[in-house]
Structure 1
Amino acid sequence: MSTPSTAPQPQRVLLVTGLLGAGKTTALRTLEDLGWEAIDNFPIRLLDRLLETEPGQTAGAAAGAAGGDTATPLAIGFDTRTRGFDPQTIIERVKALLTRSDLSVTTLFLDCGGAELERRYNETRRRHPMSDDRPAASGIAAERELLSPLRRWADVVISTTDFTTNDLQQAIRQQFAALSPSRTTITVSSFGFSRGTPPLADLVFDMRFLANPHWDEALRPMTGKDAPIGAYIRQDPAYAEAYERILGLLLLLLPRFEAQGKAYVHIAFGCTGGRHRSVFMAEQIAQGLRDAGFSPTLLHRNLASRGANLLEGAQAVQV
């Protein structure tokens, strides 16, 4: 008996519009960081063509020129400067798109108070496109009146009057992160301080307080990936508490980094030569993060280095 085929998921499409200066560019860039394909100032008359389907295709496949594919949400930005802009025509086009089962269309409208928009225009010394030779307030008022049908129609309205750029980024993440395929990329690495600290590490933990297997001649040729090294380090009275506290700190911080939209987090563990203690702790923490639902990449910078063993022995004081 043949297995019934799974119906394809509808293509997610977000139409992003609003008042000029309200934050459309910031919103689209934030969506890109969340894994969306973003197109700005897209001609509205070509919207149907962008989303049209052919036999054997699903909606969004025609977006190849913009890098779109069926698995990636698509954000399309437009405003009063976009060629062919007419709010009522746009609404009619969106209504037609909403009847299609292969699309899931949402409209986001970015609003902002007139006084704040005037301040932003004065701060950037840019002329409002609809003000001609009049003050910016006149252009803002004319644009607001033109856009009023779209604002009433929009599924989501975000007012950025009291927002900083970071506030708007946070609002976009809170509203649309659940639809996004991407998560923070986590790297856990080990290194030797003798060869320098990783320049791009976000969090660095110094493991030189732990007992050093280098001073046991039987253990010296091994690495932190070998069981006898792990057993040796676990005997250090400080190890268990240090591990629990470091892992607990990371489990506190990583979801918050992700909520802030941080794309990459590099967690580095160092010891003298990058061969024993740092390698073991990086392995243990990476496994702890996996058990908690994260997917870290594990790297050992100096493990393959021929000089790591010599650098351990070069220390005059046992550390």
Structure 2
Amino acid sequence: MTDRSEVFPDLPAAQNFAGGADTDLVVVTGLSGGGRSTVARALENVDFYVVDNLPQALMLDMAQLAYQAGGATQRTAMVLDVRSRAFSTDLAGAIRALKERGFHPRVVFVDADDDVLVRRFESVRRSHPLQGDGRLADGIAAERKLLEEARELADVIIDTSHLNVNQLRRRVEELFSSEDARRLRITVLSFGFKYGLPVDADFVCDARFLPNPYWVPELREHTGQEESVSSYVLSQEGADDFVGTYAHLIGATAAGFEREGKRYLTVAVGCTGGKHRSVALSEELAARLRDSRLSAYASHRDLGRE
């Protein structure tokens, strides 16, 4: 067996890296067809050094090399897929090893509904890496079971079922911009209940108690990002209390989440179709959180689907 010192002659085999916290490490994993490649490209756009298809057994070595090299590798992302797991399936152990050496990796898990994954594989006429002689659905089910523990470890789960490539890229870039990585990053996500609940939501807020601009002819074709719709929604009885209450709740709990090591918080605001009320309220809530010196931005999952 080859000794690690022969492969990495300058790398101490059992060194604890007290300064490892200064190395911004991101581990990207998730379901095949979920969008890992898009996530990797987006991370490159915000100045991460991205290592694709890295075997899990080499994660610690890569982190130590990134720490020692400094410079451009101080922000390093490691992307793991089925081929990576051919070397080891103990992602939890690899993450623990990183933490024991002083690193603080952030784990990103990309997910999507089974029917969406099937359509994506069929559109490019590819088989699933784990389907063997079975059906696409069999491969997806096998991989989903294999990744159960990895999903539980994730700091952030991104459901790409309703995101196009550009929307996913923007979401990742907003989450992993060069702003202090230790701060809690809050995504206020608008959505339409008729398209399903966001699987990555920490809080779900229901805005359907407000009058729907859809039934106002001059507002129907506009969105909550436009002044006419936003003013209409925010002027309704209860709208200001709704935003203020959630802004207070999130502001009161943000410091606690940070102390517990949570770095991403998703607040989902839903209305019927995700076009008017939820969009306007999400923009307003994100703005108020920023006014409170929290790192927050609005994202709109279902805008444009109608």
TM norm structure 1: 0.47
